[in-house]
């Protein structure tokens, strides 16, 4: 009997080990940290030139700097200690040589980049993250592959709307995507996007040299569905960040998203997050990707622009209120309303402290961070914000990481994450705006009945009446009704 008992126990453990990691119940409880993998940490220098044709050039801002999965794994405790609970990493598939440093030009959807460590290192990273209670969100691109095809026809690559299409050929006959993507007739053949505001071009034109998939074809849709179902299964990732959503025809998304959700659910991932990138300030346009069973989360670009204008540009604080008035049905689908992924900068935008934004003013950054971690949504911090990185646009906003967990900003962000973890209202409480101004000045709101947040974007002290039910927790102030210039306060009721 004793031996039989041990055998049963072993088989039980084996089946648990093979199982996939379950989803969180509520993504609003999470705090995301975004990593640009090539620039984060080089955990294995032997893989730095493993992308065919790509060279290790750590001094070149568009070169490969060697960051990889092993480097992220070695620094998981640094990320966890900051208070993040989920990590979004840049795309992981093998890339063409010119895209390999950023990852957004996949050569195929079945090979994990050897330069980043290959499939074993990715599995190790995700397993190590899960062991620490950290979720991993993988960045996926459905709109295009990397630079795999070109044309010798006159006029290429200028966008050609009418007349005969260009004749495509493989750039390198030795590097054709594996089946089923080894077909030139699966790629749009009208050249590169010239006018990004033209709705036709922006969907069937190429994103520069990256070859645009004919996502409207049923066989391409089926292949993309199969590829990414396998990808979830093999990596055990917890969600996707979906790139270039606006450049795929709209009716592609509901079917593909449903297939991903259903497949993830069969693996026990019943709340698989998929947040799309619609890089635009207009809520009508952005929100339209969340209606009719499409995305249930997106990157919150409209809020990004509002915070930028208010904190960096001195715009009226009322602009934030106006933005939230637009974040409502029917502009947005009800499932997405309070779980958009919020951010103050990322790998495609200048850093918040850049000269053309807050210009090194860490008080402004502190205000923006307070908004990031207390406004409704799922906060996402771009790596290096805690190290006061200040690079301007791409590629200078993709700096090599430093790991110092004693900086003021690191400790400040850790405090914000801790507050958010301790107080459920900061994550899920109903957001009520209490005060704003038609100029720079106060912006105050509460979450639920226990959290009150006040910022003052003006350069003069402001007065704000705070009800006796709130007591200060984060920043002790001398006089509770006086809000100092260029400052932020959070009040939590026990």
66 binds Ca ion per the rule CB under 5 A: yes
Among 37, 143, 317, 417, binds Ca ion (CB under 5 A): 143
Please check whether residue 301 is in contact with residue 246, taking contact to mean a CB–CB distance below 8 angstroms. no
CB of 213 to Ca ion, least distance (A): 7
- Return the number of the residue (37 or 385) whose C-beta is nearest Ca ion: 37
CB of 143 to Ca ion, least distance (A): 5
74 binds Ca ion per the rule CB under 5 A: no
Please check whether residue 55 is in contact with residue 63, taking contact to mean a CB–CB distance below 8 angstroms. yes
Please check whether residue 312 is in contact with residue 299, taking contact to mean a CB–CB distance below 8 angstroms. no
- Return the number of the residue (212 or 300) whose C-beta is nearest Ca ion: 212
- Return the number of the residue (247 or 420) whose C-beta is nearest Ca ion: 247
Stretch that binds Ca ion, among 10-18, 30-38, 239-247, 428-436 (CB under 5 A): 239-247
Residues sharing a CB contact under 8 Å with residue 55, sequence separation 6 or more, in sequence order: 49, 63, 64
> If you ran DSSP here, which 8-state letter would residue 120 be given?
H
CA dihedral of 407, 413, 415, 420, whole degrees rounded to 10:
-170
Please check whether residue 107 is in contact with residue 209, taking contact to mean a CB–CB distance below 8 angstroms. no
Stretch that binds Ca ion, among 84-92, 151-159, 205-213, 296-304 (CB under 5 A): 205-213
- Return the number of the residue (74 or 247) whose C-beta is nearest Ca ion: 247
3-state secondary structure (DSSP) of residue 42: coil
- Return the number of the residue (99 or 376) whose C-beta is nearest Ca ion: 99
- Return the number of the residue (20 or 214) whose C-beta is nearest Ca ion: 214
CB of 196 to Ca ion, least distance (A): 12
Beta strands (DSSP E) in 360-486 are: 378-382, 431-435, 442-447, 451-456, 462-463, 482-483
Stretch that binds Ca ion, among 21-29, 247-255, 319-327, 474-482 (CB under 5 A): 247-255
CB of 205 to Ca ion, least distance (A): 7
C-alpha–C-alpha distance, residues 118 and 122, integer Å: 6
Question: Quick one: tokens of 410?
Answer: 């690191």
Angle at the Cα of 98 (from 357 to 280), degrees rounded to 5?
35
Tell me the site size for Ca ion, rule CB under 5 A: 9
What does R_g of the chain's alpha carbons equal in angstroms? 24
**Axis-axis angle for helices 253-266, 218-235 (nearest 10):** 30
3-state secondary structure (DSSP) of residue 341: strand
Stretch that binds Ca ion, among 40-48, 178-186, 317-325, 331-339 (CB under 5 A): 40-48
47 binds Ca ion per the rule CB under 5 A: yes
- Return the number of the residue (44 or 425) whose C-beta is nearest Ca ion: 44
Stretch that binds Ca ion, among 34-42, 265-273, 316-324, 482-490 (CB under 5 A): 34-42
- Return the number of the residue (121 or 365) whose C-beta is nearest Ca ion: 121
277 binds Ca ion per the rule CB under 5 A: no
Among 38, 42, 283, 338, binds Ca ion (CB under 5 A): 42
201 binds Ca ion per the rule CB under 5 A: no
Stretch that binds Ca ion, among 59-67, 127-135, 268-276, 292-300 (CB under 5 A): 59-67
**Axis-axis angle for helices 362-374, 408-422 (nearest 10):** 20
Alpha helices in 382-493 (DSSP H): 408-422, 424-428
Binding site for Ca ion (CB under 5 A): 42, 44, 47-48, 66, 68, 143, 212, 247
């Amino acid at each position: 009997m004793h031996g039989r008992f041990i055998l049963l126990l072993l088989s039980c453990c084996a089946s648990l080990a093979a199982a996939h990691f379950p989803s969180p119940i509520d993504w609003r409880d999470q705090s995301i940290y975004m990593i640009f993998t090539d620039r984060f940490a080089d955990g294995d220098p032997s893989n730095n030139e493993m992308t065919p044709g790509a060279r290790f050039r750590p001094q070149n801002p568009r070169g490969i700097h060697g960051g990889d999965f092993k480097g992220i794994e070695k620094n998981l405790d640094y990320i966890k200690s900051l208070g993040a609970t989920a990590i979004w990493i840049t795309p992981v598939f093998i890339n063409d040589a010119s895209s390999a440093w950023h990852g957004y030009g996949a050569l195929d959807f079945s090979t994990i980049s050897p330069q980043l460590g290959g499939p074993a290192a990715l599995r190790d990273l995700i397993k190590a993250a899960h062991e620490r209670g950290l979720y991993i969100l993988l960045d996926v691109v459905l709109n295009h592959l990397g630079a795999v095809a070109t044309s010798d026809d006159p006029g290429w690559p200028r966008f050609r709307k009418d007349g005969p299409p260009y004749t495509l050929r493989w750039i390198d006959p030795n590097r054709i995507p594996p089946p089923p993507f080894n077909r030139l007739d699966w790629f749009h053949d009208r050249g590169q996007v010239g006018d990004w505001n033209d709705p036709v071009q922006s969907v069937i034109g190429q994103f520069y040299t990256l070859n645009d998939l004919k996502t409207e074809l049923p066989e391409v849709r089926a292949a993309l569905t199969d590829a990414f179902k396998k990808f979830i299964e093999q990596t055990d990732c917890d969600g996707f960040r979906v790139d270039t959503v606006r450049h795929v025809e709209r009716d592609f998304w509901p079917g593909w998203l449903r297939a991903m959700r259903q497949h993830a659910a069969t693996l026990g991932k019943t709340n698989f997050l998929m947040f799309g990138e619609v890089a635009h300030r207009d809520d009508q346009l952005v929100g339209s990707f969340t209606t009719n069973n499409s995305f249930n989360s997106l990157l919150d670009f409209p809020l990004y622009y509002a915070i930028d204008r208010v904190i960096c540009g001195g715009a009226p604080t009322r602009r934030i209120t106006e933005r939230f008035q637009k974040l409502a049905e029917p502009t947005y689908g009800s499932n997405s309303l309070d779980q958009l992924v919020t951010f103050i900068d990322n790998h495609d935008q200048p850093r918040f402290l850049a000269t053309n934004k807050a210009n090194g003013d860490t008080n402004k950054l502190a205000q923006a961070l307070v908004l990031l971690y207390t406004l409704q949504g799922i906060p996402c911090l771009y790596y290096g914000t805690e190290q006061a990185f200040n690079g301007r646009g791409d590629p200078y906003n993709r700096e090599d990481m430093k790991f110092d967990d004693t900086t003021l900003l690191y400790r400040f962000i850790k405090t914000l994450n801790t507050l958010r973890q301790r107080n459920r209202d900061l994550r899920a409480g109903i957001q009520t705006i209490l005060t704003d101004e038609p100029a720079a000045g106060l912006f105050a709101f509460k979450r639920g009945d226990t959290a009150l947040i006040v910022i003052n974007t003006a350069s003069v002290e402001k007065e704000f009446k705070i009800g006796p039910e709130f007591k200060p927790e984060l920043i002790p102030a001398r006089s509770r009704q006086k809000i100092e210039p260029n400052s932020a306060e959070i009040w939590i009721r026990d």
